[in-house]
Structure 1
Amino acid sequence: MPDPSDTERLSDLPLNDLVACHECDLLMRKPRLAHGEKAECPRCGYELYAHRHNVVERSLALVIAALLLYVPANFLPIMQLNLLGQSSQDTVWSGVVGLFDTGMQGISVVVFLCSMGIPLLKLLCQLLVLLTIRLNIGRSYGLLLYRIYHHLRDWGMLEVYLMGVLVAIVKLADMAAITVGLGLVCFISLLLVQVWLEVAMSPHQIWQALSGEDDHAGD
Protein backbone atom coordinates (compact mmCIF):
# COMPACT_ATOMS: atom_id res chain seq x y z
CA MET A 1 0.00 0.00 0.00
CA PRO A 2 1.36 3.48 -0.82
CA ASP A 3 2.66 5.43 2.13
CA PRO A 4 0.11 8.15 3.08
CA SER A 5 3.01 10.43 4.00
CA ASP A 6 4.03 10.56 0.33
CA THR A 7 5.07 14.05 -0.69
CA GLU A 8 2.39 14.17 -3.38
CA ARG A 9 -0.55 16.17 -2.09
CA LEU A 10 -3.74 14.12 -1.82
CA SER A 11 -5.84 17.16 -2.57
CA ASP A 12 -4.42 17.23 -6.10
CA LEU A 13 -5.64 13.72 -6.86
CA PRO A 14 -9.08 12.92 -8.34
CA LEU A 15 -11.64 11.43 -5.95
CA ASN A 16 -11.55 8.10 -7.79
CA ASP A 17 -7.91 7.70 -6.75
CA LEU A 18 -8.61 8.24 -3.04
CA VAL A 19 -9.94 6.00 -0.30
CA ALA A 20 -10.80 6.74 3.33
CA CYS A 21 -10.57 4.26 6.18
CA HIS A 22 -14.00 3.48 7.66
CA GLU A 23 -12.51 3.12 11.15
CA CYS A 24 -10.01 5.96 11.62
CA ASP A 25 -10.90 8.21 8.62
CA LEU A 26 -7.35 8.23 7.25
CA LEU A 27 -7.39 9.51 3.67
CA MET A 28 -4.92 7.84 1.33
CA ARG A 29 -4.27 6.99 -2.27
CA LYS A 30 -6.22 3.97 -3.49
CA PRO A 31 -3.83 1.07 -4.16
CA ARG A 32 -4.14 -1.19 -7.18
CA LEU A 33 -4.53 -4.80 -6.10
CA ALA A 34 -3.85 -8.08 -7.84
CA HIS A 35 -6.22 -11.03 -7.47
CA GLY A 36 -6.29 -12.35 -3.92
CA GLU A 37 -4.70 -9.25 -2.38
CA LYS A 38 -6.33 -6.97 0.16
CA ALA A 39 -5.71 -3.37 1.19
CA GLU A 40 -5.34 -2.47 4.86
CA CYS A 41 -5.19 0.89 6.58
CA PRO A 42 -1.57 1.61 7.58
CA ARG A 43 -2.72 3.43 10.72
CA CYS A 44 -5.29 1.09 12.31
CA GLY A 45 -4.99 -2.10 10.25
CA TYR A 46 -8.66 -2.09 9.14
CA GLU A 47 -9.29 -4.01 5.90
CA LEU A 48 -10.30 -1.40 3.32
CA TYR A 49 -11.23 -3.83 0.57
CA ALA A 50 -10.07 -6.98 -1.17
CA HIS A 51 -9.77 -8.12 -4.78
CA ARG A 52 -11.41 -11.54 -4.90
CA HIS A 53 -11.57 -14.14 -7.67
CA ASN A 54 -14.78 -14.70 -9.66
CA VAL A 55 -16.81 -12.29 -7.55
CA VAL A 56 -19.80 -12.15 -9.89
CA GLU A 57 -20.06 -15.89 -10.56
CA ARG A 58 -19.64 -16.86 -6.89
CA SER A 59 -22.11 -14.21 -5.76
CA LEU A 60 -24.66 -15.27 -8.39
CA ALA A 61 -24.47 -18.86 -7.17
CA LEU A 62 -25.04 -17.73 -3.57
CA VAL A 63 -27.96 -15.44 -4.52
CA ILE A 64 -29.67 -18.26 -6.42
CA ALA A 65 -29.11 -20.61 -3.48
CA ALA A 66 -30.61 -18.02 -1.11
CA LEU A 67 -33.66 -17.54 -3.35
CA LEU A 68 -34.20 -21.31 -3.50
CA LEU A 69 -34.08 -21.45 0.31
CA TYR A 70 -36.40 -18.45 0.76
CA VAL A 71 -39.73 -20.25 0.17
CA PRO A 72 -39.09 -23.33 2.38
CA ALA A 73 -37.52 -21.11 5.08
CA ASN A 74 -40.67 -19.00 5.33
CA PHE A 75 -43.45 -21.46 4.56
CA LEU A 76 -42.28 -24.81 5.93
CA PRO A 77 -42.89 -25.51 9.65
CA ILE A 78 -40.19 -24.09 11.91
CA MET A 79 -41.37 -26.17 14.85
CA GLN A 80 -44.23 -28.43 15.88
CA LEU A 81 -45.71 -27.78 19.31
CA ASN A 82 -47.56 -30.53 21.22
CA LEU A 83 -49.38 -29.27 24.34
CA LEU A 84 -52.11 -31.10 26.26
CA GLY A 85 -52.85 -33.37 23.34
CA GLN A 86 -53.11 -30.53 20.85
CA SER A 87 -50.57 -30.09 18.05
CA SER A 88 -49.74 -27.03 15.98
CA GLN A 89 -47.15 -26.26 13.34
CA ASP A 90 -45.71 -22.77 13.09
CA THR A 91 -44.06 -21.07 10.13
CA VAL A 92 -42.71 -17.57 9.63
CA TRP A 93 -45.77 -16.73 7.54
CA SER A 94 -48.22 -18.19 10.08
CA GLY A 95 -46.55 -16.02 12.74
CA VAL A 96 -47.23 -12.90 10.67
CA VAL A 97 -50.84 -13.97 10.05
CA GLY A 98 -51.30 -14.81 13.73
CA LEU A 99 -50.16 -11.36 14.84
CA PHE A 100 -52.48 -9.74 12.32
CA ASP A 101 -55.49 -11.81 13.39
CA THR A 102 -54.96 -11.00 17.08
CA GLY A 103 -55.22 -7.27 16.45
CA MET A 104 -51.51 -6.44 16.30
CA GLN A 105 -51.55 -5.30 12.69
CA GLY A 106 -48.69 -2.83 13.10
CA ILE A 107 -46.38 -5.41 14.62
CA SER A 108 -47.35 -7.97 11.98
CA VAL A 109 -46.42 -5.52 9.21
CA VAL A 110 -43.03 -4.84 10.84
CA VAL A 111 -42.35 -8.56 11.27
CA PHE A 112 -43.37 -9.23 7.67
CA LEU A 113 -41.12 -6.49 6.30
CA CYS A 114 -38.07 -7.36 8.41
CA SER A 115 -38.29 -11.15 8.14
CA MET A 116 -39.80 -11.69 4.67
CA GLY A 117 -40.34 -8.60 2.52
CA ILE A 118 -37.05 -6.71 2.83
CA PRO A 119 -34.80 -9.83 2.77
CA LEU A 120 -36.49 -10.85 -0.50
CA LEU A 121 -36.06 -7.34 -1.96
CA LYS A 122 -32.38 -7.41 -0.99
CA LEU A 123 -31.85 -10.73 -2.76
CA LEU A 124 -33.68 -9.54 -5.89
CA CYS A 125 -31.61 -6.33 -5.95
CA GLN A 126 -28.40 -8.34 -5.62
CA LEU A 127 -29.50 -10.74 -8.36
CA LEU A 128 -30.34 -7.92 -10.80
CA VAL A 129 -27.12 -6.03 -9.99
CA LEU A 130 -25.01 -9.12 -10.67
CA LEU A 131 -26.91 -9.86 -13.89
CA THR A 132 -26.30 -6.32 -15.18
CA ILE A 133 -22.58 -6.89 -14.65
CA ARG A 134 -22.53 -10.46 -15.97
CA LEU A 135 -24.56 -9.65 -19.10
CA ASN A 136 -23.09 -6.14 -19.46
CA ILE A 137 -26.50 -4.49 -19.87
CA GLY A 138 -28.25 -1.70 -17.98
CA ARG A 139 -25.40 -0.92 -15.62
CA SER A 140 -26.93 2.48 -14.82
CA TYR A 141 -29.97 0.63 -13.46
CA GLY A 142 -27.56 -1.67 -11.63
CA LEU A 143 -26.05 1.35 -9.88
CA LEU A 144 -29.50 2.47 -8.74
CA LEU A 145 -30.43 -1.02 -7.51
CA TYR A 146 -27.13 -1.37 -5.65
CA ARG A 147 -27.77 1.93 -3.87
CA ILE A 148 -31.25 0.72 -2.94
CA TYR A 149 -29.74 -2.53 -1.66
CA HIS A 150 -27.37 -0.63 0.65
CA HIS A 151 -30.31 1.35 2.07
CA LEU A 152 -32.18 -1.92 2.72
CA ARG A 153 -29.29 -3.69 4.46
CA ASP A 154 -30.11 -2.39 7.94
CA TRP A 155 -33.78 -3.40 7.70
CA GLY A 156 -33.50 -7.09 6.91
CA MET A 157 -33.32 -8.69 10.35
CA LEU A 158 -33.33 -12.44 9.84
CA GLU A 159 -30.86 -12.93 12.69
CA VAL A 160 -33.17 -11.07 15.11
CA TYR A 161 -36.12 -13.24 14.08
CA LEU A 162 -33.97 -16.37 14.49
CA MET A 163 -33.00 -15.30 18.02
CA GLY A 164 -36.69 -14.82 18.83
CA VAL A 165 -37.47 -18.33 17.59
CA LEU A 166 -34.63 -19.85 19.63
CA VAL A 167 -35.73 -17.98 22.78
CA ALA A 168 -39.30 -19.22 22.27
CA ILE A 169 -38.09 -22.81 21.87
CA VAL A 170 -36.04 -22.61 25.08
CA LYS A 171 -38.90 -21.10 27.09
CA LEU A 172 -41.49 -23.59 25.82
CA ALA A 173 -39.25 -26.64 26.16
CA ASP A 174 -40.40 -27.33 29.75
CA MET A 175 -44.09 -26.73 28.98
CA ALA A 176 -44.63 -28.73 25.80
CA ALA A 177 -43.07 -31.23 23.44
CA ILE A 178 -41.31 -29.34 20.67
CA THR A 179 -40.11 -30.85 17.41
CA VAL A 180 -37.82 -28.78 15.21
CA GLY A 181 -39.10 -28.60 11.65
CA LEU A 182 -37.38 -28.49 8.28
CA GLY A 183 -38.29 -24.82 8.01
CA LEU A 184 -35.87 -23.93 10.82
CA VAL A 185 -33.04 -25.78 9.04
CA CYS A 186 -33.83 -23.87 5.83
CA PHE A 187 -34.10 -20.59 7.74
CA ILE A 188 -30.69 -21.04 9.36
CA SER A 189 -29.23 -22.09 5.99
CA LEU A 190 -30.71 -18.97 4.38
CA LEU A 191 -29.15 -16.78 7.06
CA LEU A 192 -25.72 -18.42 6.64
CA VAL A 193 -25.86 -18.13 2.84
CA GLN A 194 -26.71 -14.42 3.13
CA VAL A 195 -23.78 -13.86 5.51
CA TRP A 196 -21.48 -15.68 3.06
CA LEU A 197 -22.90 -13.57 0.24
CA GLU A 198 -22.08 -10.36 2.14
CA VAL A 199 -18.46 -11.50 2.31
CA ALA A 200 -18.20 -12.82 -1.26
CA MET A 201 -19.89 -9.85 -2.95
CA SER A 202 -16.98 -7.42 -2.58
CA PRO A 203 -18.53 -3.89 -2.59
CA HIS A 204 -15.33 -2.35 -3.99
CA GLN A 205 -15.31 -4.62 -7.03
CA ILE A 206 -19.06 -4.36 -7.58
CA TRP A 207 -18.97 -0.55 -7.54
CA GLN A 208 -16.02 -0.57 -9.94
CA ALA A 209 -17.73 -3.00 -12.31
CA LEU A 210 -20.98 -1.00 -12.31
CA SER A 211 -19.15 2.26 -13.00
CA GLY A 212 -17.14 0.66 -15.81
CA GLU A 213 -13.78 1.00 -14.03
CA ASP A 214 -13.29 -2.76 -13.84
CA ASP A 215 -14.67 -5.00 -16.59
CA HIS A 216 -13.03 -8.09 -15.11
CA ALA A 217 -14.87 -8.33 -11.79
CA GLY A 218 -15.84 -11.85 -12.65
CA ASP A 219 -12.27 -12.99 -13.25
Structure 2
Amino acid sequence: MEHDHLIACHECDALFQKPRLGRKRTARCPRCGAILYGSASGRLEGITAMTMAALITFLIAQGFPIVELETNGITSQTSLIGAIVALWNEDMQIVAVMVFCSTFLFPLTELTALLYLLIPIRAGIVPPGFNQVLRAIQFVRPWGMIEVFMLGVLVTIVKMVSLARVIPEAAMFAFGALTLMFVVVVTFDPRTLWDVAEGLGVLEARRERHARDGDGDDGDAHADQAGRDAGKPGVDGTAAPHQG
Protein backbone atom coordinates (compact mmCIF):
# COMPACT_ATOMS: atom_id res chain seq x y z
CA MET A 1 0.00 0.00 0.00
CA GLU A 2 1.41 3.37 -1.01
CA HIS A 3 0.66 5.86 1.75
CA ASP A 4 1.55 8.83 -0.48
CA HIS A 5 -1.67 8.25 -2.45
CA LEU A 6 -3.99 8.16 0.57
CA ILE A 7 -5.89 10.99 2.23
CA ALA A 8 -7.86 11.06 5.49
CA CYS A 9 -11.03 13.07 6.00
CA HIS A 10 -10.49 15.74 8.67
CA GLU A 11 -14.12 15.38 9.82
CA CYS A 12 -14.73 11.61 10.14
CA ASP A 13 -11.16 10.21 9.71
CA ALA A 14 -12.19 7.97 6.82
CA LEU A 15 -9.28 6.90 4.60
CA PHE A 16 -9.51 7.20 0.83
CA GLN A 17 -7.38 6.83 -2.24
CA LYS A 18 -6.26 10.27 -3.38
CA PRO A 19 -7.36 10.88 -6.98
CA ARG A 20 -5.68 13.40 -9.24
CA LEU A 21 -8.23 16.18 -9.74
CA GLY A 22 -8.88 18.04 -12.95
CA ARG A 23 -9.24 21.78 -13.28
CA LYS A 24 -11.68 23.35 -10.76
CA ARG A 25 -12.68 19.98 -9.29
CA THR A 26 -13.21 19.20 -5.62
CA ALA A 27 -12.99 15.85 -3.84
CA ARG A 28 -15.62 15.24 -1.14
CA CYS A 29 -15.89 12.56 1.51
CA PRO A 30 -18.73 10.16 0.57
CA ARG A 31 -19.34 9.39 4.25
CA CYS A 32 -19.85 12.88 5.73
CA GLY A 33 -19.73 15.17 2.69
CA ALA A 34 -16.75 17.24 3.91
CA ILE A 35 -14.40 18.71 1.33
CA LEU A 36 -11.18 16.69 1.25
CA TYR A 37 -9.23 19.02 -1.01
CA GLY A 38 -9.61 20.97 -4.22
CA SER A 39 -7.65 21.34 -7.41
CA ALA A 40 -5.05 24.10 -7.40
CA SER A 41 -4.52 24.26 -11.16
CA GLY A 42 -7.55 26.49 -11.73
CA ARG A 43 -6.33 29.09 -9.21
CA LEU A 44 -2.69 29.37 -10.20
CA GLU A 45 -3.12 32.38 -12.50
CA GLY A 46 -5.17 34.37 -9.98
CA ILE A 47 -3.02 33.60 -6.95
CA THR A 48 0.17 34.34 -8.91
CA ALA A 49 -1.14 37.75 -9.94
CA MET A 50 -2.32 38.51 -6.39
CA THR A 51 1.03 37.45 -4.90
CA MET A 52 2.93 39.64 -7.37
CA ALA A 53 0.69 42.61 -6.57
CA ALA A 54 1.13 41.98 -2.83
CA LEU A 55 4.92 41.94 -3.22
CA ILE A 56 4.91 45.27 -5.08
CA THR A 57 2.57 46.78 -2.48
CA PHE A 58 4.81 45.41 0.28
CA LEU A 59 7.85 47.20 -1.19
CA ILE A 60 5.86 50.45 -1.43
CA ALA A 61 4.75 50.10 2.19
CA GLN A 62 8.35 49.63 3.33
CA GLY A 63 9.81 52.47 1.29
CA PHE A 64 7.50 55.33 2.26
CA PRO A 65 6.53 56.99 5.58
CA ILE A 66 3.49 55.64 7.39
CA VAL A 67 2.29 58.82 9.11
CA GLU A 68 3.35 62.43 9.51
CA LEU A 69 2.99 64.08 12.93
CA GLU A 70 2.81 67.84 13.35
CA THR A 71 2.85 69.39 16.83
CA ASN A 72 3.94 72.87 17.98
CA GLY A 73 5.21 73.60 14.49
CA ILE A 74 7.49 70.54 14.48
CA THR A 75 6.85 67.94 11.78
CA SER A 76 8.17 64.39 11.87
CA GLN A 77 7.68 61.34 9.67
CA THR A 78 8.34 57.69 10.34
CA SER A 79 8.44 54.49 8.33
CA LEU A 80 8.37 50.89 9.49
CA ILE A 81 12.14 50.55 9.28
CA GLY A 82 12.53 53.87 11.12
CA ALA A 83 10.24 52.62 13.89
CA ILE A 84 12.27 49.40 14.21
CA VAL A 85 15.53 51.41 14.42
CA ALA A 86 13.98 53.67 17.06
CA LEU A 87 12.95 50.64 19.14
CA TRP A 88 16.48 49.26 18.88
CA ASN A 89 18.03 52.56 19.95
CA GLU A 90 15.69 52.71 22.95
CA ASP A 91 17.18 49.44 24.26
CA MET A 92 14.13 47.43 23.19
CA GLN A 93 16.05 44.99 21.01
CA ILE A 94 13.72 42.04 21.59
CA VAL A 95 10.66 44.05 20.56
CA ALA A 96 12.55 45.44 17.55
CA VAL A 97 13.50 41.93 16.38
CA MET A 98 9.92 40.67 16.84
CA VAL A 99 8.49 43.60 14.86
CA PHE A 100 11.10 43.14 12.12
CA CYS A 101 10.41 39.41 11.77
CA SER A 102 6.59 39.58 11.92
CA THR A 103 6.09 42.62 9.68
CA PHE A 104 9.06 42.46 7.30
CA LEU A 105 11.09 39.23 7.19
CA PHE A 106 8.36 36.57 7.37
CA PRO A 107 5.83 38.26 5.01
CA LEU A 108 8.61 38.97 2.49
CA THR A 109 9.81 35.37 2.73
CA GLU A 110 6.32 34.01 2.13
CA LEU A 111 5.64 36.22 -0.90
CA THR A 112 9.00 35.60 -2.59
CA ALA A 113 8.84 31.86 -1.88
CA LEU A 114 5.33 31.61 -3.32
CA LEU A 115 6.41 33.40 -6.49
CA TYR A 116 9.47 31.15 -6.71
CA LEU A 117 7.12 28.16 -6.83
CA LEU A 118 4.14 29.55 -8.73
CA ILE A 119 5.90 31.12 -11.73
CA PRO A 120 7.85 27.98 -12.80
CA ILE A 121 4.90 25.65 -12.10
CA ARG A 122 2.64 27.76 -14.32
CA ALA A 123 5.26 27.23 -17.03
CA GLY A 124 5.20 23.46 -16.46
CA ILE A 125 8.50 23.28 -14.52
CA VAL A 126 9.10 22.08 -10.97
CA PRO A 127 11.74 24.45 -9.49
CA PRO A 128 14.77 23.14 -7.56
CA GLY A 129 14.25 22.76 -3.82
CA PHE A 130 10.47 22.55 -4.28
CA ASN A 131 9.78 20.56 -1.10
CA GLN A 132 12.07 22.67 1.09
CA VAL A 133 10.58 25.97 -0.11
CA LEU A 134 7.04 24.66 0.41
CA ARG A 135 7.89 23.67 3.98
CA ALA A 136 9.45 27.09 4.57
CA ILE A 137 6.18 28.74 3.51
CA GLN A 138 4.24 26.56 5.93
CA PHE A 139 6.66 27.52 8.71
CA VAL A 140 6.66 31.31 8.28
CA ARG A 141 2.98 31.79 7.41
CA PRO A 142 1.62 31.78 11.00
CA TRP A 143 4.22 34.37 12.06
CA GLY A 144 3.44 37.04 9.47
CA MET A 145 1.35 39.64 11.30
CA ILE A 146 0.76 42.53 8.90
CA GLU A 147 -2.86 42.79 10.03
CA VAL A 148 -1.82 43.01 13.72
CA PHE A 149 0.64 45.78 12.87
CA MET A 150 -2.04 47.63 10.90
CA LEU A 151 -4.44 47.41 13.84
CA GLY A 152 -1.77 48.76 16.17
CA VAL A 153 -1.08 51.70 13.84
CA LEU A 154 -4.79 52.58 13.70
CA VAL A 155 -5.10 52.49 17.49
CA THR A 156 -2.02 54.71 17.83
CA ILE A 157 -3.39 57.22 15.32
CA VAL A 158 -6.68 57.47 17.22
CA LYS A 159 -4.81 58.16 20.47
CA MET A 160 -2.44 60.68 18.86
CA VAL A 161 -5.18 62.79 17.24
CA SER A 162 -5.79 64.67 20.48
CA LEU A 163 -2.08 65.46 20.89
CA ALA A 164 -0.88 66.25 17.38
CA ARG A 165 -2.00 66.66 13.80
CA VAL A 166 -1.76 63.22 12.19
CA ILE A 167 -1.46 62.94 8.40
CA PRO A 168 -1.58 59.44 6.86
CA GLU A 169 1.15 58.90 4.27
CA ALA A 170 1.50 56.54 1.30
CA ALA A 171 2.69 53.57 3.35
CA MET A 172 -0.46 53.75 5.48
CA PHE A 173 -2.68 53.12 2.47
CA ALA A 174 -0.22 50.54 1.12
CA PHE A 175 -0.38 48.58 4.39
CA GLY A 176 -4.18 48.72 4.27
CA ALA A 177 -4.22 47.31 0.74
CA LEU A 178 -1.57 44.75 1.68
CA THR A 179 -3.72 43.50 4.56
CA LEU A 180 -6.59 42.78 2.16
CA MET A 181 -4.24 41.11 -0.32
CA PHE A 182 -2.82 38.85 2.37
CA VAL A 183 -6.35 37.72 3.21
CA VAL A 184 -6.57 36.36 -0.34
CA VAL A 185 -3.04 34.93 -0.38
CA VAL A 186 -3.40 32.98 2.87
CA THR A 187 -6.61 31.32 1.65
CA PHE A 188 -4.46 29.49 -0.89
CA ASP A 189 -3.11 26.28 0.58
CA PRO A 190 0.41 25.85 -0.85
CA ARG A 191 0.31 22.13 -0.07
CA THR A 192 -1.97 21.66 -3.08
CA LEU A 193 1.03 22.52 -5.25
CA TRP A 194 2.37 19.06 -4.41
CA ASP A 195 -0.44 17.59 -6.55
CA VAL A 196 0.41 19.90 -9.44
CA ALA A 197 4.12 19.10 -9.16
CA GLU A 198 3.33 15.39 -9.02
CA GLY A 199 1.26 15.71 -12.18
CA LEU A 200 4.09 17.52 -13.94
CA GLY A 201 6.49 14.78 -12.88
CA VAL A 202 4.18 12.10 -14.25
CA LEU A 203 3.87 13.91 -17.57
CA GLU A 204 7.62 14.37 -17.82
CA ALA A 205 8.25 10.69 -17.10
CA ARG A 206 5.66 9.73 -19.71
CA ARG A 207 7.33 11.92 -22.33
CA GLU A 208 10.71 10.36 -21.59
CA ARG A 209 9.22 6.87 -21.85
CA HIS A 210 7.62 7.65 -25.20
CA ALA A 211 10.86 9.15 -26.43
CA ARG A 212 12.67 5.91 -25.58
CA ASP A 213 10.06 3.43 -26.71
CA GLY A 214 8.61 5.29 -29.68
CA ASP A 215 4.98 4.94 -30.66
CA GLY A 216 4.78 1.19 -30.23
CA ASP A 217 3.41 1.34 -26.69
CA ASP A 218 0.57 3.81 -27.35
CA GLY A 219 -2.04 1.16 -26.66
CA ASP A 220 -0.58 0.34 -23.27
CA ALA A 221 -0.33 4.02 -22.41
CA HIS A 222 -3.99 4.59 -23.27
CA ALA A 223 -4.99 1.57 -21.22
CA ASP A 224 -3.01 2.84 -18.23
CA GLN A 225 -4.58 6.27 -18.56
CA ALA A 226 -8.08 4.78 -18.73
CA GLY A 227 -7.40 2.83 -15.55
CA ARG A 228 -6.27 5.94 -13.76
CA ASP A 229 -9.18 8.02 -15.00
CA ALA A 230 -11.66 5.47 -13.66
CA GLY A 231 -10.90 6.56 -10.08
CA LYS A 232 -11.08 10.30 -10.71
CA PRO A 233 -13.96 12.33 -9.27
CA GLY A 234 -16.15 14.53 -11.39
CA VAL A 235 -16.80 18.19 -10.75
CA ASP A 236 -17.35 18.38 -7.00
CA GLY A 237 -17.29 14.58 -7.10
CA THR A 238 -16.46 12.17 -4.32
CA ALA A 239 -13.20 10.31 -3.89
CA ALA A 240 -13.18 6.55 -4.30
CA PRO A 241 -12.75 4.79 -0.92
CA HIS A 242 -9.51 2.97 -0.30
CA GLN A 243 -9.67 -0.77 -0.38
CA GLY A 244 -7.13 -1.95 2.17
Task: Determine if the TM-score, normalized by the shorter chain, exceeds 0.5.
Answer: yes
Do the aligned residues in 2 keep the contact of 1:208 with 1:214 (CA within 8 Å)?
Answer: no
CA distance in 2 between counterparts of 1:140 and 1:64 reads 20
Question: Which structure ranks higher in relative contact order (CA pairs < 8 Å, sequence separation ≥ 6)?
Answer: 2
Gapped regions of structure 2 (runs ≥ 5): 204-244
**Secondary structure in 2 aligned to 1:133?**
helix
In structure 2, the residue matched to 1:97 is: 85
Alpha-carbon offset, residue 42 of structure 1:
5.5
Alpha carbons of structure 1 residues 140 and 78: separation in structure 2 relative to 1, 3 Å: same
Which amino acid letter does the alignment assign opposite residue 161 of structure 1? F
User: Which of 94, 98, 111 is the aligned partner of 1:123?
Assistant: 111
In structure 2, the residue matched to 1:9 is: none
In structure 2, the residue matched to 1:7 is: none
Which amino acid letter does the alignment assign opposite residue 44 of structure 2? V
Gapped regions of structure 1 (runs ≥ 5): 1-12
CA distance in 2 between counterparts of 1:85 and 1:139 reads 55
Which amino acid letter does the alignment assign opposite residue 118 of structure 1? F
CA distance in 1 between counterparts of 2:18 and 2:92 reads 51
Which amino acid letter does the alignment assign opposite residue 30 of structure 1? K
**Secondary structure in 2 aligned to 1:189?**
helix
Q: TM-score, normalised by structure 2?
A: 0.72
Alpha carbons of structure 1 residues 215 and 112: separation in structure 2 relative to 1, 3 Å: farther
In structure 2, the residue matched to 1:211 is: 198
**Secondary structure in 2 aligned to 1:87?**
strand
Alpha carbons of structure 1 residues 117 and 202: separation in structure 2 relative to 1, 3 Å: closer
**Secondary structure in 2 aligned to 1:35?**
coil
User: Which of 38, 42, 45 is the aligned partner of 1:57?
Assistant: 45
User: Which of 182, 190, 194 is the aligned partner of 1:194?
Assistant: 182
CA distance in 1 between counterparts of 2:35 and 2:154 reads 33
User: Which of 122, 125, 129 is the aligned partner of 1:141?
Assistant: 129
Q: % of aligned pairs identical?
A: 34
Do the aligned residues in 1 keep the contact of 2:40 with 2:193 (CA within 8 Å)?
Answer: no
In structure 1, the residue matched to 2:157 is: 169
Which amino acid letter does the alignment assign opposite residue 86 of structure 1? I
Alpha-carbon offset, residue 125 of structure 1:
0.8
User: Which of 138, 141, 146 is the aligned partner of 1:158?
Assistant: 146
CA distance in 1 between counterparts of 2:196 and 2:4 reads 13
Do the aligned residues in 1 keep the contact of 2:51 with 2:185 (CA within 8 Å)?
Answer: yes
Alpha carbons of structure 1 residues 37 and 185: separation in structure 2 relative to 1, 3 Å: same
RMSD: 2.6
Larger Rg belongs to = 2
